[in-house]
Structure 1
Amino acid sequence: MEHCKFDQPDLATDSLVLVNPLLAGVANLTICVGERNGQPLKRFLVISESMRLASPVWNAMLKPDGPFLENGAKEVSFPEDDPDAFEVIIRITHGQFSTISDISDDHILMSLAFLVDKYELQNLVSAFISRWADSLRLCRDSSLLRREQVLFTAYVFGDCDTFKTALLDLVVNCRVDKQGVILLSGKPVDFRYLPTETTGCVTNNHFAKLEALMRLGTCAIDKLTLCKKNLCIVEDNATPCCGTVMGTMIIALSKIGHWPVPPSVDELAKSVPGFADYLDEHITQYVHTFAEDHEACPAASMYTDAMELMLKESRPLPNTLVQHFQAFAPKETSTTYAKVPTTPKKSKNKRRSSFKRTR
């Protein structure tokens, strides 16, 4: 797929982008988008009425007597918006659908989502939403966007699968400090443009996973204290295996301040993968109890598998988010026609109506 980028205007000659040749002599407004060194990155000639019809926000902004067009002004600036994404919107607004190529640039996709949300353009771009959601799915694995940016873009485009994948990724990899701030790589996650339910989803799921992992670790410790032979979780006298040594585990836990086991996950300053790694390293630590090498204890493998399953599981979305994504689901269309009552024609000659011609 080609990147959806258009030619930059020559600012030295003050050229304008005319997205539709038919607008020559008709366009009545100049739109300046982006800013660098006090100059717009792109300038477009548009029809103000088309812009107003496309967006209720623009309708309020571009009224002849509105604050942006005072004293007969013919130019409006949008310095904070992305010029490439804005050009896509302007081309759609002015009917240039054939010039919109597939978009493989994740930053343009995010900028489009921002514009759609900011200027309430959902109805205008409804025919393109599914295509943009497909593009987002294709580039999400190699995307350089932050996780909250992927979340926001998927939310605006109605891409439930990508939203849930990004949400789980954030849940697993974030940390929550004592003030309840969600941190990723040591920096606060920006939830400004996401629905309020998202923050609760991340926090609740994050602590639910930590609690599940803590229960798993506590269960392992309880079983270890009850085992008798070889210090193995599963007693099997016929099968030699690697035992988990209780003393080694307790010493390791004490060094990192987790022995005794914290009474609640609030005292765990760890990410979910960090806590899982800690369990894997210290609770399922293998120490050979026989001279020769043997396979790992099956119970230890069971705990490792259980931890991996916990990391992959995601909890259901809140009803408000479910309803949001359901609105983007393709509607089943079926055409039904009213049946016109008909009365069969009576044959005047019943004998003739049943007559079969023979040769």
Structure 2
Amino acid sequence: MIRISIDAMGGDHGPDVVIPALMTVATRRPDAHFIIYGQENLVRPILDKHPRLAENSELVHCDVAVGMDEKPSQALRHGRWKSSMWKAIEAVKSDAADVCISAGNTGALMAMSKFCLRTMASIDRPAIAAIWPTLRGESVVLDVGAGIGADAHQLVDFAILGTGMARAVFGIERPSVGLLNVGVEEVKGQEEVKEAGQMLREANLASLDYRGFVEGNDIGKGAVDVVVTEGFSGNIALKTAEGTARQFAAYLREAIGRSLLSRLGYILAKGAFDRLREKLDVGRSNGGVFLGLNGIVVKSHGGADSDGFAAAVDLGYDMVRNRLLDRIEADLDLFHARNPKAAGARRSDVETDEEG
């Protein structure tokens, strides 16, 4: 049984979207068990409309719902211990659940997850990983917004974290990895990126196939299975891709409705347009995974519909089923065993920061 804790109050729609999404997941994942955290007076009436889901769920009342516009520091001060978001994360820490899913405030969710679960022993900071549709299928891209900037050691950590996710979700034994850069030439880019590339080449890990630098246009091509970058550029790339998909879909709808002939052409090619619509639907790839923590947390888009939230729950389910954390820990242990100099340099950096 896969135990999934749910923050039912998160997102723009709360339980109105969350509960129908869980019913969808329960239908195709009969071994999933849901622990739903939320305000009972709002969740119970909707849950009672889905008796099959209610039989395989437990509802835990929470007095507080973290607002979508709350600052992370405010959420930590006022939402701890009582909020549906905190309780859902805490369930993973106490081993009452295997994974937490929330569509709530991203900053608050990350702050609470770091405070409650802590980062893995050899990880400086967590990263948010996204599933990115490509011409070849799908890729993992990280970091897409957990933090601003990253040094070489952190970029290498991200590569190992993303590789573990690609192995768990895509079933690829040795995923290919690229560092996002302004060009593919080794002399280009920031020093941190060039240093990370050298570290990955020298590590020669059996769990990943380092391919060098990739550019922004290589992400959509699916040039590699895992694209590594820092959170600022990663978040811009993600939002740009989502906006471009919606822009193209709007252009297409406008072109189809412009004349009788274009509407007739749409009818004749409806199957092709339906497949295109599926590819452009950002909700189908919904779910940002917080990697590097001692537990799995998945962030659904706040505006996701029930299908989108169900996709985020499915993603969390798959990562538990395929032992994501075990894979990541094994890869990290292997990297540090083969690269004691990197581990020593990291410890020196931490000691210097503490002295300063």
Greater RCO (Cα-Cα under 8 Å, separation 6 or more): 2
TM-score past 0.5 threshold? no
Flag the structure with higher helix content. 2
- For normalisation by structure 1, the TM-score amounts to 0.24
Find the structure with the greater CA-based Rg.
1
